[in-house]
Amino acid sequence: MLLERLYDEDLAQASYFIGCQAKGEAIVVDARRDIEDYLALAAKHGMRITAVTETHIHADYLSGTRELAAATGAAVYVSGEGTEDWQYGFEAERLMDRDAIKLGNITVTARHTPGHTPEHLSFLITDGAFSSEPGYLLSGDFVFSGDLGRPDLLDEAAGGVDTRFAGAQDLFTSLKNVFLELPDHVQVYPGHGSGSACGKALGAVPSTTVGYERSFAWWGRYLANDDVEGFIAELLDGQPDAHAYFGRMKRQNRDGAAVLGPLPQLREMDAQSIAAQTSAGTAVFIDTRPHTEIAQGTVAGALSVPGPHKMASFAAWAYNPETDNRALILLADDAAQAEEMRSHLLRVGIDTAAGYITSIHTLPGYSPRSISPAELKDFEHDLLLDVRSKSEFAAGHIPGAKQLSGGRVLWHLDELPADGTIVTYCQSGLRNAVAASALRDAGYNIVELSGSYAGWVRSDA
């Protein structure tokens, strides 16, 4: 059996390629939407991808299940479990608890493990050439290394009301009746690693075991004592802010992400055509340099989205394709880097990248307005906006500030003064550059606090 983990550092997301070498068939679990890596892996091992599936309706990235199936002719399998009002809306074979997919000597058995979402499946993998018992579990967003999937995303991202409590109870039951019924040696491969917003304390270790989690995970003592109330209280406490684009991902993944097929190469553009399109409002320029360079000067009207490595994470904060159809023009070193950036954008459903340029020197310039921490005290403003997370804000903030995390600002404009001056800050300035550029693009008068919160603390202002 071949089992390979493909990890996206941008979104801290793992997908899995499992192949039967005897039959030359493979299944991909939780594919992302840029599918070239899966196709290359299949070609490398001389395998055909005959099945694609996913653990649940994802909120943090756009699923590549349908894209990969369209490219390979693979059969599509999705969960048929869950509540009546939250079911997959596209054609696929439905998997129920204990249903199995066979690939030669390999058996992939679905186990219903609700909690993170009502329909969530985990997949037990049995290598029949080696054993008649499962040796691996693809746990999706059920069990992570050292943590569990958050049960509140239907509330936070899908319009649910207090579903988190039922979800937390379901997680307890899934642990008790499924996970802890497995032998300690079963290797666990989760769907996310450290940095994901799908849990609050995910470990960076790529895999774990049932026995290790049983003995050392924070939740183990609650299960050992059958303490449901204590488990729910600790699980729900301190969950990170859910980015607003999660709601869009949930809907698109439920209904079925659009299949793009082969894409034309991005074209290199000249400054004159870029200026004409941005002035006409048909395109927006994406400045992908570090925020420290952007602070020294950028392109008029640009969105600040550092790339390529965190392109998906931050672009979805600053650009909402449900309400904005402008083409994206990227600052990139060359064609290869531009294509890499587009791949990251596709992972969060931003499909409008149209071209790139390698320098900003011939484009209309703009210097973001900023003030120093020393100037803040006497600076006239209508709102001091902290775009860090709730937990960061609770740990310490500038007096008088309002908290609204950077991944939510565009979706809560009604909470901001439309005509006043807003001073914004984060921890170091990176997230603030993204959020501030998005607010400027939306027509707000934004002044950035130089050095952000860390600079304010150092200044002893």
Which residue in this structure is represented by tokens 């083409």?
Answer: 327
- Looking at residue 185, its pLDDT comes to 97
Residue 394 lies in a domain: yes
Give the mean pLDDT of 242-263: 95
Residue 260 lies in a domain: no
115 and 217 belong to one structural domain: yes
Please report which confidence band the pLDDT of residue 231 belongs to, taking 50, 70 and 90 as the band edges. very high
Whether the bond into 290 is cis, omega within 30 of 0? no
Residue 217 lies in a domain: yes
Give the mean pLDDT of 283-311: 96
Residue 102 lies in a domain: yes
Q: Is the pLDDT assigned to residue 190 strictly greater than 70?
A: yes
Q: Is the pLDDT assigned to residue 277 strictly greater than 90?
A: yes
φ and ψ at 253, to 5 degrees? Answer: -70, -35
Number of CB atoms found within 10 A of residue 161's CB: 7
Q: Is the pLDDT assigned to residue 201 strictly greater than 70?
A: no
Residue 322 lies in a domain: yes
330 and 421 belong to one structural domain: no
Cα dihedral value 198, 201, 203, 209, nearest 10: -80
Which of 143, 129, 123, 127 has its CA nearest to residue 51? 123
142 and 218 belong to one structural domain: yes
Q: Which of 334, 366, 398 is the last residue of a domain?
A: 366
The string of pLDDT tens digits covering residues 339-362 is: 999 999 999 999 999 999 999 999
Separation CA 88–CA 251 (nearest Å): 10
The string of pLDDT tens digits covering residues 74-114 is: 999 999 999 887 899 999 999 999 999 999 999 999 999 99
Which of 118, 115, 219 has its CA nearest to residue 173? 115
322 and 426 belong to one structural domain: no
33 and 132 belong to one structural domain: yes
The string of pLDDT tens digits covering residues 414-448 is: 999 999 999 999 999 999 999 999 999 999 999 99
Q: Is the pLDDT assigned to residue 160 strictly greater than 80?
A: no
CATH of the domain at 276: 3.40.250.10
- Looking at residue 84, its pLDDT comes to 84
pTM: 0.94
Which of 419, 382, 373 has its CA nearest to residue 402? 382
Instruction: Tell me the residue type at 290.
Output: P
Instruction: Tell me the residue type at 322.
Output: E
Residue 52 lies in a domain: yes
- Looking at residue 400, its pLDDT comes to 97
Number of CB atoms found within 10 A of residue 391's CB: 12
Separation CA 371–CA 450 (nearest Å): 6
443 and 310 belong to one structural domain: no
- Looking at residue 275, its pLDDT comes to 95
Q: Which of 208, 235, 255 is the last residue of a domain?
A: 255
Q: Is the pLDDT assigned to residue 23 strictly greater than 80?
A: yes
Please report which confidence band the pLDDT of residue 364 belongs to, taking 50, 70 and 90 as the band edges. very high
154-163, 180-189, 295-304: lowest mean pLDDT where? Answer: 154-163
Q: Which of 314, 345, 366 is the last residue of a domain?
A: 366
Q: Is the pLDDT assigned to residue 461 strictly greater than 70?
A: no
Structural domains counted in the chain: 3
106 and 239 belong to one structural domain: yes
383 and 343 belong to one structural domain: no
The string of DSSP codes covering 249-295 is HHHHHHH-PPP--S-PPPEE--HHHHHHHHHHTSEEEEE-S-HHHHT
Containing structural domain, residue 385: 370-459
Q: Is the pLDDT assigned to residue 239 strictly greater than 90?
A: no
The string of DSSP codes covering 391-460 is HHHHH---TT-EE--TTTGGG-GGGS-SSSEEEEE-SSSHHHHHHHHHHHHTT-EEEEETTHHHHHHHHT
Give the mean pLDDT of 278-300: 97
Which of 303, 305, 313, 190 has its CA nearest to residue 243? 313
